């Protein structure tokens, strides 16, 4: 296999770092907000500057954005003691300017029946689970590990896992609940702070906030005493908001075949989502010399409002459905022979030490989870990744129903994929700094370099050397997921 990357040059590390800083400086890029719109304009300007024609797809949706949230404990004499929420619950609802007041009703365990909280404020516990390694290996079918020690922890915890059993706020609204307070359990305050979770729910009509473990204990004691609280959640709601997907095409020498390189543009911090930095670097890289195959770069919107913009899947699904001419191989259309997805570059691992009550770095790279659609792609990726100095990689066999990130629609539509999708604990935290300090820029650059070489290989390889997506395995876990979805559609 030839090595055209020897004739090509990535933008230098300073340029890549400046792109990262620029995106982060916009602030949390929540779907369709001002920061997100400005970042999309910036991405377009960078693509245009290197001579690419950029196309915009405009989508419309109902955009909810929190301005402020407050929680106060009310004493019998009318005095109020402010407590600080860790964050607002996205797309939950909003209160009048003065907030809502009510008696507290404490729910220790799910399932929650909100009838008892009609006209009141419900307090519910959300526990971050610890999953054993063997269960994660069922969900993530491992192909390879580099080095051999790269693996899940014996007991894996992440705030994202707690999203599996959130309260149904729409049901709470129907029951007449005035507001809901979600309590982080088995999660330190520093880890819980600023979490923009969940990010995949529609507007539910019941205002809700998150609080830490110690505040939850105070609320539980107050609820047992018949105490009251005031919840205030100010938000804006634009029912005809606009947001844009961008894409740009680098024509290949050979007509008919394409490689899709995609990511999403919305996200609350420097990690989620910095995939556009990688795509900008790859777009500059692949221009000269001209690639054999057409390279399509897609910067999609809507990942943080999938119920409205994902069309029953990840955000890239909507773009693929809008542009079959770029991938489906029908007469007169391009045939996508491969796809590459970049998300969450440069992530270092931070974990809770509950015994010490501390959230701290482990000193490790966040486990690089990489979906590879078949053994040929796994070999291509690993040959390039093994040369890096910073690596902690686990390649995975995709399963449609347990495939995280924007590579999933490519795989689901029959495009052989390589998809990078680490998920650090801070992935969805809208911190004031954007948690840019938690990223390693050398690691980010090394990951981009790996994918530049992978893109070269995919461009040069015969179609037979790329292969087709492997048949999806009928694992026990997949059967359980399908059964749950049949009983309770999601």
pLDDT digits (tens, 9 = 90+) for 367-423: 999 999 999 999 999 999 998 889 999 999 998 677 899 999 999 999 999 999 999
Specify the CATH number for the domain of residue 209: 3.50.30.30
Range of the domain at 204: 67-134+158-235
| 80 and 189 part of one domain | yes
**106-114 contacts, C-beta under 8 A, 24 or more apart:** 106/219, 106/220, 106/223, 106/224, 108/220, 110/165, 110/167, 112/167, 112/168, 112/172, 114/167, 114/171, 114/172, 114/175, 114/177
Q: What is the pTM of this model?
A: 0.94
Q: What is the mean pLDDT of residues 247-264?
A: 97
pLDDT digits (tens, 9 = 90+) for 67-111: 999 999 998 888 899 999 999 999 999 999 999 999 999 999 887
Does 197 fall in a domain?
Answer: yes
Answer yes or no: are the C-beta atoms of 265 and 40 closer than 8 Å: yes
Does 116 fall in a domain?
Answer: yes
Confidence band, pLDDT 50/70/90 cuts, at residue 1: very low
| 247 and 229 part of one domain | no
Number of separate domains in the chain: 2
Q: In this predicted structure, what is the pLDDT of residue 46?
A: 98
d(CA 329, CA 255): 12
Task: Pick the last residue of a domain from 186, 208, 235.
Answer: 235
pLDDT digits (tens, 9 = 90+) for 38-76: 999 999 999 999 999 999 999 999 999 999 999 999 988
Specify the CATH number for the domain of residue 372: 3.40.630.10
d(CA 15, CA 198): 33
Task: Pick the last residue of a domain from 235, 267, 288.
Answer: 235
Q: In this predicted structure, what is the pLDDT of residue 490?
A: 27
Mean pLDDT, the chain, integer: 93
Does 446 fall in a domain?
Answer: yes
Does 153 fall in a domain?
Answer: no
Task: Pick the last residue of a domain from 235, 251, 267.
Answer: 235
Q: What is the mean pLDDT of residues 224-241?
A: 96
Does 252 fall in a domain?
Answer: yes
Q: In this predicted structure, what is the pLDDT of residue 488?
A: 33
d(CA 480, CA 381): 31
d(CA 290, CA 21): 29
């Amino acid at each position: 296999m030839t090595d055209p990357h020897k004739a090509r040059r990535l933008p230098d590390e300073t340029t890549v770092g400046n792109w990262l800083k620029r995106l982060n400086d916009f602030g949390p890029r929540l779907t369709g907000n001002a920061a997100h719109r400005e970042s999309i304009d910036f991405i377009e300007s960078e693509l245009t500057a290197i001579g690419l024609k950029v196309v915009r797809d405009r989508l419309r949706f109902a955009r909810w954005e929190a301005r402020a949230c407050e929680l106060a404990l009310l004493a019998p004499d009318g005095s109020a003691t402010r407590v600080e929420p860790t964050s607002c619950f996205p797309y939950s609802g909003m209160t009048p300017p003065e907030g809502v007041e009510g008696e507290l009703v404490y729910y220790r365990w799910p399932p929650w029946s909100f009838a008892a909280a009609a006209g009141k404020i419900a307090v519910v516990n959300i526990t971050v689970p610890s999953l054993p390694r063997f269960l994660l290996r069922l969900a993530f079918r491992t192909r390879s590990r580099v080095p051999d020690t790269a693996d899940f922890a014996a007991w894996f915890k992440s705030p994202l896992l707690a999203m599996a059993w959130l309260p149904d706020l729409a049901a709470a609204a129907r029951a007449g609940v005035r507001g809901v307070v979600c309590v982080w359990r088995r999660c330190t305050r520093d880890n819980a702070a600023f979490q923009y979770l969940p990010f995949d729910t529609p507007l539910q009509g019941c205002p809700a906030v998150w609080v830490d473990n110690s505040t939850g204990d105070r609320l539980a004691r107050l609820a047992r005493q018949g105490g009251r609280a005031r919840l205030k959640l100010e938000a804006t709601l634009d029912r005809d908001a606009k947001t844009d997907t961008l894409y740009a095409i680098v024509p290949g020498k050979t007509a008919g075949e394409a490689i899709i390189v995609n990511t999403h543009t919305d996200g609350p911090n420097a990690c989620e989502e910095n995939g556009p930095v990688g795509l900008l670097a790859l777009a500059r890289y692949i221009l000269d010399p001209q690639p054999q195959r057409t390279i399509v770069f897609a910067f999609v919107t809507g990942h943080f409002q999938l119920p409205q913009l994902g069309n029953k899947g990840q955000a890239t699904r909507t773009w693929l459905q809008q542009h079959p001419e770029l991938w489906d191989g029908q007469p007169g259309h391009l045939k996508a022979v491969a796809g590459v997805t970049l998300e969450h570059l440069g992530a270092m691992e931070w974990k809770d030490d509950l015994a010490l009550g501390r959230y701290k770095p482990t000193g490790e790279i966040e486990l690089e989870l990489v979906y590879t659609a078949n053994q040929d792609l796994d070999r291509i990726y690993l040959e390039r990744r093994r040369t890096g100095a910073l690596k902690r990689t686990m390649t995975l066999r995709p399963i449609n129903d347990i495939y995280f990130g924007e590579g999933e629609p490519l795989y689901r539509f029959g495009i052989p994929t390589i998809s990078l999708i680490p998920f650090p604990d801070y992935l969805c935290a809208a911190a004031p700094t954007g948690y840019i300090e938690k990223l390693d820029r050398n690691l980010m650059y090394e990951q981009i370099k790996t994918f530049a070489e992978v893109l070269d290989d995919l461009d040069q390889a015969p179609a037979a050397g790329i292969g087709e997506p492997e048949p999806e395995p009928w694992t026990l876990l997949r059967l359980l997921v399908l059964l749950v979805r049949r009983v309770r559609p999601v």
